[in-house]
Amino acid sequence: MGKSWQTTKPVFDDLLLRLPATLELITFGLLGALLIGIPLGVISAHRKRGIISKVADYYGLFAGALPDFWLALVLILFFYTIFGFAPSPIGRLDLTVIAPAQVTGFLTVDCLIAGNWRAFRSAAAHLVLPVLTLALVNAGPILKMTLSSMDRMLSAHFSVYEELCGLPRLMIVRNAFRNALPSVITIVSVLYGYLLGGAVLVEIVFSWGGAGQYAVQGVLNSDFNPVLGFVLFSSVFSLFVYLAVDLIYLAIDPRIRG
C-alpha cells in the first residue's frame, strides 16, 4: 500500500493502528441502534394505534433526515459545554490517563483485560456521545425495516392461523419476529459496512483518531496512499460482514439448511 508522507510510515501499519478505534465506535454505535430500533419496530407493529407507534413514526422520519455531524455538535454543546456531564471531545481517553497495552484494539476491552479501571471509565465516558450520535441516527433504518417486516409477518397466514388457534398474542409476535429476522439482519449488515466510512464526520468532530479520520486527512493533504488503503480495507471488511450474514442466515432459517 505504500507509505504515507504525513506519518512517514507504511499505510498498512497506520491502518492496523487506527482501524480498531473505528471498529469499536461503529460496533457500539450499531448495538445502540439495535437496542433502539428493534424494540420500537416490534412494539409499533404490535400496537399500531398506541402512542409508541406514533412516536416511532415521527422518529423514523426525523432520524432519516438528521445529519450525524450536526447531532454530534449539539450533543457536545449540551452535555459538555453547558452541563459538563461528558468529557471533552479530544479522543478516546483523557489526557492524564495512560492507555493499556493493545490486545484487541478495542480500548474498553483492553482496559478490562489489563484491569485498568480508571482507563476503562475514561474510555467508556468518551464513547458515550459518539456512540449515542451513531445510534440515534442509524436506528431509523432498523426501525423502519423491523416495522415493515413485522407487519408482513403478523398479517401472514401462519400468524392468522396461530391467532385462530387461540395462542397468546405475545407468542404470535415472537414467532413473527423470528421470521422477520432475515430482513433485519440484512439492513444491519448494510449499515455495518456503511458505517465504516459513514462515521468519518463523527470521528472528526470527536477527534477520534480512527481510520476514517486518517483517510480524510489523506484527502485534504493530497496523500492518496492512505485513501486507497482505507478503500481496500473497507472492501475486505464488507466482504467478511456479508459472509458472516450468510452464515447467520444458515443458522436461523431451517429452510436454507433443508
Q: How many C-beta neighbours within 10 Å does residue 52 have?
A: 14
Among 145, 139, 154, CA closest to 195: 139
Cβ proximity of 69 and 205 under 8 Å:
yes
pLDDT of residue 156: 86
Average pLDDT of the chain is: 86
Query: CATH: 2.60.40, 1.10.3720, 1.10.3470, 1.10.357. Which one for 11-143+181-257?
Result: 1.10.3720
Q: Which of 233, 200, 234 is nearest to 214 (CA)?
A: 200
For residue 69, the SS3 value is helix
Residue 257 confidence (pLDDT):
63
0.95 exceeded by pTM: no
Check residue 217 and give its pLDDT.
Answer: 83
Dist. CA 86–CA 79, nearest whole Å: 6
pLDDT for 248 equals 84
Which pLDDT does position 258 carry in this prediction? 59
In degrees, rounded to 5, the angle at the alpha carbon of residue 79 between the alpha carbons of residues 76 and 85 is: 130
- Each residue's pLDDT tens digit, 61-107: 888 788 888 999 999 999 999 888 888 888 888 888 888 888 888 88
SS3 content of the chain, % helix, strand, coil (to 5): 75, 0, 20
**pLDDT for position 131:** 93
* pLDDT for position 74: 93
* Per-residue model confidence (pLDDT) at position 73: 93
**pLDDT at residue 30, rounded to an integer:** 92
Domain boundaries, the chain: 11-143+181-257
Q: Are 4 and 106 in contact (CB under 8 A)?
A: no
Low-confidence ranges of the chain (pLDDT < 50): none
